[in-house]
């Protein structure tokens, strides 16, 4: 069943009013008619099973049939800070990271980032990336859409560390194991930091640790820049009980 | 450092002789010279740190400096049976599945497989896919190259189940959790079975279970056909102690 994210202002006691691009989707892509059902998600923990009543150009009015707790959000909020990467790899990370429960995305540029980033297309890119996250959130039955932030430089990323309970810095050349670090974490807000194709420099590693991160390695095999975030998200949520993992 | 997979017949007491396409890579791509170092991997648990002595058209002779146990192989052998999928998704699964430790790949066609498969290009595709696995094994420091099998039909896949200690059938609509099943597994040879974009039919699920598989769900979010194998490989190996997970 189709899922649409709505704002709480669009929810009444008995009815929901969908507005914006999703109306076009309901009307022209899904070609829904009165009586068809859909799920509306308020990004605050509640899903609404609704039945379409009317569709006009600007809005779709639905009757609420049932309210259910949204089950698609993991218990721990894991934000993914990842360097921009070449080609479509970054968009893959957004899409699959969203499926795997990422809380938000912090794209950054570090010393070895290959991609040339100029501010000109920044807004359009960010819009596109946010749309990818939205579609992936809908398809994967997330309870909310992960926010995609504006591309930041290395210093700006470091300044964000204090807002998290734990920052895990993925570093090829050593560090502690993921499992050991997770067993120590208290608090539920985590940030994982993954570098570009060429990895991080020693200096960046020192700066990340000085800013409060723990350097972790990802096991005996080298994971590509676009694989590492997916492996981390999978294992972290599994550690906390998803997919039946023994919760820590 | 570059890594090359070699056959045990190429290994002498003090020297290794590299043959085939890798010679071209050493000579013309990496432009290695006498004195340069490389790692040769015998796919049987040993890595050899070697120094290049001579390169000719057909062979590269290297002196063995050191023998080391190969560390890139996971303890549990997890084969990935996945339906062919559209576009480059299948090749992504081969590449990233190899990074994440897949023992081998069993491509298959099931009821809802979208891709049209004709036998004509089968050999060329298999060659290409095997090459992708080889390159990914080299880059990710695997101890061996996962074998990519010939595309099989559903019946043929079912016949392969008895060779594994446990077969995990990824089914959207229910089943047990991954963690619960892993806590019961004895034996070290596992097969995970992932369907096409449209998923499996109820009949296929019944047939898989009748053939010995356990139906598992992958948590509260829907994972795409190309994401599911990566999440499964990550979590299974993590369960068995990789990345510092508490070994079961």
Q: How far is B136 from chain A (nearest CA, A)?
A: 10
Count Cβ atoms below 10 Å from residue A100 Cβ, excluding itself: 29
State the DSSP H helix or E strand holding residue A37, giving kind and residue range, or none if neither: strand A37-41
**A126 within 8 A of A91, measured Cβ to Cβ:** no
Backbone dihedral angles phi then psi of residue A241, each to the nearest 5 degrees: 110, -10
In total, chain B counts a number of residues equal to 248
Mean pLDDT for all residues in chain B: 92
Helix (H, G, I), strand (E, B) or coil at B247: coil
- Among A214, A244, A248, most B C-beta atoms within 10 A, so best to mutate, is A244
Flag whether residue B144 sits within 8 Å of chain A, measured between CB atoms.
Answer: no
Flag whether residue A139 sits within 8 Å of chain B, measured between CB atoms.
Answer: yes
DSSP bridge pairs for B156:
none
Helix (H, G, I), strand (E, B) or coil at B181: helix
What are the distances in angstroms from CA B23 to CA A15, B31, B50, B135? 69, 10, 14, 14
Contacts of A238 in chain B (CB under 8 A): 178-179, 234-235, 238-239
Helix (H, G, I), strand (E, B) or coil at B120: helix
d(CA A107, CA A89): 12
Would you say residue B39 has pLDDT above 90? yes
Task: Provide the CA B143 distance to its chain's centre, in angstroms.
Answer: 11
Contacts of B230 in chain A (CB under 8 A): 96, 227, 230-231, 234
Q: What is the pLDDT of residues B55-112, one digit of tens each?
A: 988 899 999 999 998 888 888 899 999 999 998 999 999 999 999 999 999 999 999 9
Residue among A62, A59, A53, A100 nearest A80 (CA): A100
Q: Kindly determine whether residue B178 and residue A245, on different chains, have CB atoms separated by under 8 Å.
A: yes
Ordered by where they begin, the domains of chain B are: 3-69 (2.40.240.20), 77-239 (3.40.1280.10)
By C-alpha distance, the chain A residue nearest B139 is A222
d(CA B81, CA B72): 21
Read off the pLDDT band of B125 (50, 70, 90).
very high
pLDDT given for residue B237 in this prediction: 92
Q: Kindly determine whether residue A221 and residue B245, on different chains, have CB atoms separated by under 8 Å.
A: no
Residue among A137, A6, A9, A166 nearest A74 (CA): A137
> Which two three-digit tokens encode residue B215?
């139906």
Helix axis angle, B228-239 relative to B89-99, nearest 10°?
Answer: 10
- Among B73, B234, B241, B246, most A C-beta atoms within 10 A, so best to mutate, is B234
**A34 within 8 A of A60, measured Cβ to Cβ:** no
State the DSSP H helix or E strand holding residue B167, giving kind and residue range, or none if neither: strand B166-170
What are the distances in angstroms from CA A20 to CA A16, A58, B32, B189? 13, 7, 59, 51
Residue listed under structure tokens 């009015």: A61
Instruction: Report ipTM for this prediction.
Output: 0.88
Contacts of B234 in chain A (CB under 8 A): 230-231, 234-235, 238
> Which two three-digit tokens encode residue B23?
């010679």
Share above pLDDT 70 across residues of chain B, in percent, rounded to a whole number: 99
Written as tens digits, the pLDDT of chain A (248 aa) is: 889 999 889 999 999 999 988 999 999 999 999 999 999 999 888 999 999 999 988 899 999 999 998 888 888 899 999 999 998 999 999 999 999 999 999 999 999 999 988 877 888 999 999 999 999 999 999 999 999 999 999 999 999 999 999 999 999 876 898 988 988 878 889 999 999 999 999 999 999 999 999 999 888 899 999 999 999 999 999 988 887 777 76
Q: Kindly determine whether residue B234 and residue A239, on different chains, have CB atoms separated by under 8 Å.
A: no
> Which two three-digit tokens encode residue A116?
């040339």
By C-alpha distance, the chain A residue nearest B235 is A235
This model's pTM is above 0.80:
yes
Count Cβ atoms below 10 Å from residue B220 Cβ, excluding itself: 18
Of A219, A221, A234, the CB nearest to B231: A234
Q: Kindly determine whether residue B141 and residue A231, on different chains, have CB atoms separated by under 8 Å.
A: no
Number of alpha carbons in the 13 Å side-chain half-sphere of residue A116: 2
Residue listed under structure tokens 């139906």: B215
d(CA B89, CA B107): 12
By C-alpha distance, the chain B residue nearest A170 is B243
- Among A219, A228, A236, most B C-beta atoms within 10 A, so best to mutate, is A219
Buried (b) or exposed (e) across A178-199, using 16+ Cβ within 10 A? bbebbeebeeeebbbbbbbeeb
Flag whether residue A96 sits within 8 Å of chain B, measured between CB atoms.
Answer: yes
- Cite the DSSP H helix spans in chain A: 21-24, 89-99, 122-140, 154-160, 178-182, 202-210, 228-239
């Amino acid at each position: 069943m189709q899922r649409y994210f709505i704002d709480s202002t669009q929810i009444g006691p008995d009815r929901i009013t969908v507005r914006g691009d999703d109306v076009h989707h309901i009307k022209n892509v899904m070609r829904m008619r009165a009586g068809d059902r859909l799920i509306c998600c308020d990004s605050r923990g509640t899903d609404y099973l609704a039945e379409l009543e009317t569709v006009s150009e600007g809005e779709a009015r639905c009757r609420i049939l049932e309210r259910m707790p949204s089950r698609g959000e993991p218990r721990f909020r894991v934000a993914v800070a990842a360097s921009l990467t070449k080609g479509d790899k970054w968009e893959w990370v957004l899409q699959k990271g969203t499926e795997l429960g990422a809380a938000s995305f912090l794209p950054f540029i570090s010393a070895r980032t290959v991609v040339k980033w100029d501010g000109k297309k920044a807004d359009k890119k960010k819009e596109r990336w946010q749309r990818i996250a939205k579609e992936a959130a809908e398809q994967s039955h997330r309870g909310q859409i992960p926010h995609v932030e504006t591309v930041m430089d290395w210093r700006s990323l470091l300044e964000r560390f204090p807002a998290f309970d734990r920052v895990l810095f993925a570093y090829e050349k050593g560090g502690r194991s993921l499992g050991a670090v997770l067993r120590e974490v208290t608090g539920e807000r985590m940030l994982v930091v993954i570098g570009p194709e060429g990895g991080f420099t020693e200096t960046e590693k020192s700066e990340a640790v000085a800013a409060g991160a723990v350097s972790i390695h990802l096991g005996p095999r080298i994971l590509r820049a676009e694989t590492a975030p997916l492996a981390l998200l999978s294992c972290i949520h599994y550690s906390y009980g998803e997919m039946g993992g023994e919760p820590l």
